[in-house]
């Protein structure tokens, strides 16, 4: 597994990380603890050194799972986690008050079985708390040694700039993939200017870009995708054009649609580190085999041209959740 630097921060991680949310939250029933630990350790054995979690995934259970799984090789990995919801509940309101951040860090360190958080993100921007107060609080936690690097998630350009002026932001985590590219307009140029790394979540379009989902697919009753406009049956049918594009390129490269989607992301900037998630070992191995796929400038130009002809149907979030992003 190749390594990448997240911007100018000095934080080095594996070129692909592992998004751990789906092991506990968001996509149906939680994975059995034993199986979750086995998958996380399998990722480490295959070269992954960057693991992503949050207090809200569960709440709390995903951090506990990660802490147990990574304990034997804690000093060989980078753990990223996130604060920012009332009581750790993503369905509750936002809370990035300094006292809440400090309390979260103390509790998170226990759940993660560690003495420091490598990368601490604000999960969503809290309009009630100035970002300067958030950044200042994390700056103090970095000085104390409890946190090493500061990150933001789904923040807008002005928030990124204001936070970075107080405490350098090592990484922004936001959605980015071939079927969600709004970040290319302002976010990516700003990150490049400021030397901030980019960690795309949902790099496989919440599973859609794997080619294993169509308009007839049904999801578990607790699966987040049931409320996502982009995952209505009509939208999935319309959006099949993107999967067909990936499938065509994949057949030429002797790969899979998922591998092409990840290879495309990795080719955009050297400081982009996607964090695909999975609960299945064979999918993990498929994702990590992306290193064998090489997209040359002609391939990238072809994908760009073809993708520009495809209109993606459906919003990526329901309205209530959309109001929490890009602030």
The residue annotated as part of the active site, out of 57, 121, 149, 176, is 57
Average pLDDT, the chain: 97
Going by C-beta distance under 8 Å and a sequence separation of 6 or more, which residues neighbour residue 318? Answer: 227, 228, 229
277 HSE (CA, 13 A, CB side): 22
Q: What is the pLDDT of residues 257-299, one digit of tens each?
A: 999 999 999 999 999 999 999 999 999 999 999 988 989 999 9
Return the axis-axis angle of helices 157-166 and 187-194, rounded to nearest 10°.
20
pTM: 0.97
Query: What is the per-residue pLDDT for 285?
Result: 98
Q: What is the pLDDT of residues 42-85, one digit of tens each?
A: 999 999 999 999 999 999 999 999 999 999 999 999 999 999 99
Q: What is the pLDDT of residues 157-195, one digit of tens each?
A: 999 999 999 999 999 999 999 999 999 999 999 999 999
Query: What is the per-residue pLDDT for 255?
Result: 96
57 is catalytic: yes
Domain ranges within the chain, ordered by starting residue:
3-322
Q: What is the three-state SS of 299-311?
A: HHHHHHHHHHCCC
3-322 belongs to which homologous superfamily? NADP-dependent oxidoreductase domain (3.20.20.100)
Phi-psi bin for 29: left (phi > 0), alpha (psi -120 to 50), beta? Answer: beta
Query: What is the per-residue pLDDT for 219?
Result: 96
Q: What is the pLDDT of residues 99-130, one digit of tens each?
A: 999 999 999 999 999 999 999 999 999 999 99
Omega before 125 within 30 of 0, i.e. cis = no
């Amino acid at each position: 597994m190749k390594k990448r630097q997240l911007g100018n921060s000095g934080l080095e991680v594996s070129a692909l990380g592992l998004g751990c949310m789906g092991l506990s939250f968001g996509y149906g029933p939680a994975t059995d603890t034993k199986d979750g630990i086995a998958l996380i350790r399998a990722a480490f054995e295959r070269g992954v050194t960057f693991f992503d979690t949050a207090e809200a995934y569960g709440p709390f259970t995903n951090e506990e799972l990660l802490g147990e799984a990574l304990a034997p090789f804690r000093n060989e990995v980078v753990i990223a986690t996130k604060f920012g919801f009332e009581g750790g509940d993503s369905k509750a309101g936002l809370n990035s008050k300094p006292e809440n951040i400090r309390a979260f860090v103390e509790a998170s360190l226990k759940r993660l079985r560690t003495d420091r958080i490598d990368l601490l993100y604000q999960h969503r921007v809290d309009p009630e708390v100035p970002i300067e107060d958030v950044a200042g609080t994390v700056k103090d936690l970095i000085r104390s040694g409890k946190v090493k690097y500061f990150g933001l998630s789904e923040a807008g350009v002005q928030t990124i700039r204001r936070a970075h002026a107080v405490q350098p932001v090592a990484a922004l985590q936001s959605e980015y993939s071939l079927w969600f590219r709004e970040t290319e307009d302002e976010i990516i140029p700003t990150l490049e200017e400021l030397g901030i790394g980019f960690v795309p979540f949902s790099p496989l379009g919440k599973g859609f870009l794997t080619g294993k989902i169509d308009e007839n697919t049904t999801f578990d009753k607790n699966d987040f995708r049931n409320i996502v406009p982009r995952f209505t049956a009509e939208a999935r049918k319309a959006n099949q054009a993107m999967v067909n594009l990936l499938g065509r390129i994949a057949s030429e490269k002797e790969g899979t649609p998922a591998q092409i989607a990840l290879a495309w992301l990795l080719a955009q900037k050297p400081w982009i580190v996607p964090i695909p998630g999975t609960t299945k070992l064979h999918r993990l191995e498929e994702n990590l085999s992306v290193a064998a796929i090489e997209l040359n400038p002609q391939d990238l130009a072809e994908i760009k041209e073809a993708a520009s002809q495809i209109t993606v149907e459906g919003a990526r979030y329901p309205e209530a959740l959309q109001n929490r992003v890009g602030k």
